[in-house]
Amino acid sequence: MREEATAFVPGHITGFFSAHPAEDPTKAGSRGAGLTLTDGVEVTVEPAAGPEPTVVLDGEPIDVDPVTTVLDTLDAPARVEAESDLPIGSGFGVSGAMAIGTALAANRVFERKLSRNELVTIAHGAEVQAGTGLGDVVAQAHGGVPIRLEPGGPQDNKLDAIPARARVEYVTFGQLSTSEVLSGDTDQLTAAGTEALSRVVEEPTLLSFMYASRAFAREAGLLTEDVVGTIEDVTAVGGQASMAMLGETVFALGTGLSDAGYDPAVCATHPAGAVLK
């Protein structure tokens, strides 16, 4: 057994998605597209002092169901310490990042000898089961600007990507509960997500992604007043902004938010997926 291992997992802003439930959580998931971010989560795993696992985020003990499930599945009684650049519950995939970071690092510390796809499958299934996300894990494993053409873990899904990178700015006004939205009626959302995906598949550019993402946010009925106002402010100065799914967060390409007079966090798309450090 190694003493500890650390993984970095990029954040992931979902621009749009459609929900695809299934009995088997490794086959359930979402189609959609998003931006993985250089702002992310660093996850360090070491053997726990006692028999019970402990999970700490930014210094505070926390219960993160997908992380507990990953540790159970890997038979890894571990202490997990995560440091996040990103706010939780605001559409950046922090829970997904913690799940896959834990899987990668625990596999190393406890020498479980699983493949990358196996680890991603475990983290994806744990996230779906917890209802905290449907597509962040596979996107965060991929990096770049992934397009999720088929739902599910790596054995079932099909990914493509927009071959581009960009500076990304964001501001957050508050949380939205992913599990509440996902457990409600998702028909309208899924219709809007399917429409958005076909647009981006037809023209896989960042501009068409932003356009599809804005149309999705409108049609899915998830916009809040703060979000609408901010997107309008960015549009007014000629910028490209949309809403992160699912959080009360506005993201923009380039200097869109700064140009509109906001004081955003600044990062960029991340070229790589989740990695051991």
Residues that bind a second copy (CB under 8 A): 104, 107-108, 113-117, 119, 143-144, 147, 154, 160-165, 201, 203-205, 271-273, 275-276
Least distance from C-beta 35 to a second copy, angstroms?
14
Phi, psi for residue 164 in degrees, rounded to 5: -155, 160
The span from the CA of 276 to the CA of 265, in Å, is: 25
The span from the CA of 32 to the CA of 128, in Å, is: 15
Least distance from C-beta 103 to a second copy, angstroms?
9
Least distance from C-beta 190 to a second copy, angstroms?
22
The structure tokens listed for 253 are: 């390409």
In this complex, which beta carbon is closest to a second copy, that of residue 119 or of residue 245? 119
The span from the CA of 13 to the CA of 2, in Å, is: 33
Residue with tokens 């971010």: 37
Q: What kind and span of H or E run contains 84? A: strand 78-84
The span from the CA of 72 to the CA of 55, in Å, is: 13
Q: Could you check whether the bond before residue 176 is cis, i.e. omega within 30 degrees of 0?
A: no
In this complex, which beta carbon is closest to a second copy, that of residue 151 or of residue 154? 154
Least distance from C-beta 171 to a second copy, angstroms?
27
In this complex, which beta carbon is closest to a second copy, that of residue 201 or of residue 265? 201
The structure tokens listed for 154 are: 């790596």
Least distance from C-beta 160 to a second copy, angstroms?
4
In this complex, which beta carbon is closest to a second copy, that of residue 117 or of residue 177? 117
- Report helix, strand or coil for 197: helix
In this complex, which beta carbon is closest to a second copy, that of residue 112 or of residue 218? 112
Least distance from C-beta 79 to a second copy, angstroms?
20
- Report helix, strand or coil for 113: coil
Least distance from C-beta 209 to a second copy, angstroms?
11
The structure tokens listed for 226 are: 């703060």
Q: Are strands 248-253 and 241-243 parallel, antiparallel or unpaired?
A: antiparallel
The span from the CA of 122 to the CA of 129, in Å, is: 10
| CA-wise closest residue to 55 among 12, 114, 99, 11 | 99
